[in-house]
Amino acid sequence: MRLLAARLDEAAEEITRLQGASVAVGLPITAAPELAHYEGPLRNLVEWCHSSAAEIRRRAAVAAQADLIGWSPSGENAAYDALTMAAAGELDEQLAAFDALGANGDMATFFAGLAPGQALGVALARAAQVGARAGVPFELRFAANRQLVRQALAEAVRVGDKAAATRYTRLLDPDRQLLLFDPRDLGKIAEVKGDLSTAEHVAVFVPGTGNNLANYLGRAEGTLQTIHGAAAGLSARTATILWMGSPLPQSLGAAFDLQADRGAPELRDFVDNLRLAPGVHTTLIGHSYGSVVTGHAVKAGLHPDNLIAVASPGWGVDSADELKAPATKLFAMRHQGDIIKIVPTAEDTLGILVPLPDSVAGHGEDPVYMSGVERLSSGSEAHLVIGIDMDAHSDYFGGSEAGRLAGLNLARVIVGDDYETYEEARAAL
């Protein structure tokens, strides 16, 4: 198809060359009176060649997306068949209608009016526009993001990036459900465990400093599995989402609020755009710098039922009232030996030399000690810790006995069960 398009462009260029001038300003070859009547048809032919070449290239691009999937003689070929149908022009009307909707179009109504095969074909042919789009049915978003992963895999193979190719191959596991995927720069990803369409309890988890797409499968993904496993063990109607939809600090940037400020509206919009039913119980959890992002998102208008800060340097506020979410229950959790309790903020250090506004440096009051915040037991209360436990900061989601108990206590909050407070754990000693 691409070869045919190239030949059509070459034909148009050859006609123009033989004429010795642009068809738009007159045709020397038809200057003779007896040839003048050919000027219009020649101009139309050149335009037809160019427009047909462009259309063929568009169809070839869609066909190439089908080739990334491939046809299986014994497997499920719905995605391949849907893209093949789009490449053949059978979905031109639906694709044009999708494009005409624009950024504020009603996606839910649009896709509800399509047959299943048509909806899948549009979602795959417009994967970059559908994967993170509000109102698109979850299953179609999953399909679109799988297609984006296939594209990233093909590019990784093309440039010889074996690590990325391995990573994207694993992300194509049929059990994965991605609500967001972007391989550029540090990368973006949002993965869900459980059934979002039937869930009564939904938790959104934001990891902390040092997390990115390149190390997702070795770090944050395990946390997602642990949190969801514990919560789903208490209530089957639970869904858990891990969100890395905005770049997180990779090192010293964690002392500043800048990336939390940038990520907050994206997290707010992501959760709002899930369009969960009014009765769904929602919990927003942030670990380390991820808790800074969640705090800023709540300040920006995201109002979950529960907000939990785990090993947090702060929500970016000095009091609970500054979150402006009176209906949200606030929780904090921290191991006794977690180093986060002694890590100075940029406001404490640089602010001595150069006055810095709170919006730039410092993360506010420690949520563990903030009035109006309930401190959760982390499972570490039974063991006296003198000094700092260097492993404690990442040990809230399984691993040690304390990590297992911490994860279970988080799960109890997620599903609305009785949880154990820090004071209750201390009193039981």
Q: Where are the domains of the chain?
A: 2-69, 184-427
Q: Torsion over CA of 142, 408, 272 and 277, rounded to 10 degrees?
A: 90
User: Quick one: tokens of 352?
Assistant: 């001595």
- Cα separation, 363 vs 350, in Å, equals 14
CATH top-level class for 184-427? alpha beta
Low-confidence ranges of the chain (pLDDT < 50): 5, 22-25, 345-361
Task: Evaluate the CA torsion angle 299, 361, 210, 415 in order and state its sign.
Answer: negative
CA atoms of 11 and 19, how far apart (whole Å): 12
Q: Are 10 and 19 in contact (CB under 8 A)?
A: no
How far is the C-alpha of 285 from the C-alpha of 203, rounded, in Å?
Answer: 7
Are 295 and 260 within 8 A, CB to CB? yes
Closest CA to 209 of 278, 130, 263: 263
**Spatial CB neighbours of 292, under 8 Å, sequence gap ≥ 6:** 257, 260, 286, 312, 313, 314, 315, 316, 363
Q: Helices (H) and strands (E) in the chain — how many of each?
A: 15, 8
Give the CA distances from residue 348 to residues 195, 234, 256, 367, in Å, rounded to whole numbers and listed in that order.
44, 42, 11, 17
Q: Determine the pLDDT at residue 359.
A: 42
Instruction: Kindly provide the residue ranges of all beta strands, DSSP E only, lying in 142-219, ordered along the sequence.
Output: 178-182, 188-193, 201-206
Q: What pTM was computed for the model?
A: 0.86
Helix (H, G, I), strand (E, B) or coil at 205: strand
- Paired with 205 in beta bridges are 242, 285
In the block, tokens 């369409």 appear at: 197
Are 125 and 68 in contact by the 8 Å Cβ rule? The answer is no
Predicted pLDDT at 20 = 53
Tokens of 325: 């979410």
β-pair partners for 329: 306
Give the pLDDT of residue 23: 46
Assess contact for 74 and 29: CB atoms under 8 A. Answer: no
Q: SS3 for 163?
A: helix
- Strand, coil or helix: what is 183? coil
Sole residue written with tokens 């149908």: 85
Q: Give the largest CA-CA distance in the chain.
A: 107
User: So what's the pLDDT on residue 405?
Assistant: 94
How many Å apart are CA 119 and CA 95, to the nearest integer?
10
Spatial neighbors of 328 by CB under 8 A, at least 6 apart, are: 298, 303, 304, 305, 306, 307
In 216-225, which positions are buried (b, 16+ CB within 10 angstroms) versus exposed (e)? Answer: beeebbebbb
